[in-house]
Amino acid sequence: GAMECAVDAQSLISMSLMKIHSSRTQRGGIKLHKNLLVSYVLRNARQLYIKEKYAEIYRMQQYEEVMAVCSGIQELDPLEPLEPQGAEDAEPEQPYYRSCCMEDQFSQNCNKTTVLDLDTHVVTTVENGFLHQDCCCAAAPQCAPGAAARKRKVDSAACSPDAEEPSDYTAGRKRLKREECSGADCSPDASNISNLISIFGSGFSGLLSRQADLEQVCSKQALASLGAWTRAIVAF
């Protein structure tokens, strides 16, 4: 009914920007008080949006590393060929990735290929088809039933006495990645993530104080659209 409203960050951001824009043509001039309050909502919504986007990037990053480790393990053991198994075995560890890769109807549309270079930590994505926003394909090395099979391989490996090794290895690689990315020679994407970590660690404060920082470090891949939004808030 009339009282329903979507309380998600994105709609609040656009609603707030509309209010700021329409206030400029209101009779009596810009109401400073109202615009200040609207900018607080904008800041709150943007903070949440950035956190959610960051969490998404982080999850994708985790998945990439897991998949990279898996492919590394596969290469070491050529005696175990991949064999696609029944769909009923396809229980993903992380539910986030279930959305399209695990479902046959989408797999033929997913033509993104993302490659993680383990030496340089550079992530490159080749877009050659249908894009799903929440698609795990954006992070997966290869979007095919094969990917599902590889994932299941991890699961079965995890049940073995050697289960600890892969996860430790993954964690170790993650830590290594963070430490390496403090210098200027890091790839833009990886260093952006670590900078975001440092920002979140210190917390957000002030109305626009972090705006400049964010515009510098935000990864274009995930946060480019926000740049336009922040520029829209000009002091009145």
Chain residues in the site for other proteins (CB under 8 A): 1-7, 12, 15, 19, 27-29, 31-34, 36-37, 40-41, 44-45, 48, 206-208, 235-236
Sign of the CA dihedral running 87, 89, 91, 93: negative
Q: How far is the CB of 27 from other proteins (least distance, A)?
A: 6
Q: Using CA atoms of 88, 89, 95, 96 in order, give the dihedral in degrees to the nearest 10.
A: -90
Strand, coil or helix: what is 137? helix
Structure tokens at 9: 């960050």
d(CA 19, CA 75): 56
CA 205 to chain centre: 23
Q: How far is the CB of 23 from other proteins (least distance, A)?
A: 10
> Strands, DSSP E only, in the chain?
113-116, 123-126
Q: How far is the CB of 25 from other proteins (least distance, A)?
A: 11
Q: How far is the CB of 233 from other proteins (least distance, A)?
A: 9
Tell me which residue has tokens 């520029």.
Answer: 231
| CB closer to other proteins, 3 vs 79 | 3
Q: How far is the CB of 213 from other proteins (least distance, A)?
A: 15
| CB closer to other proteins, 29 vs 86 | 29
| CB closer to other proteins, 12 vs 223 | 12
| CB closer to other proteins, 21 vs 220 | 21
| CB closer to other proteins, 19 vs 98 | 19
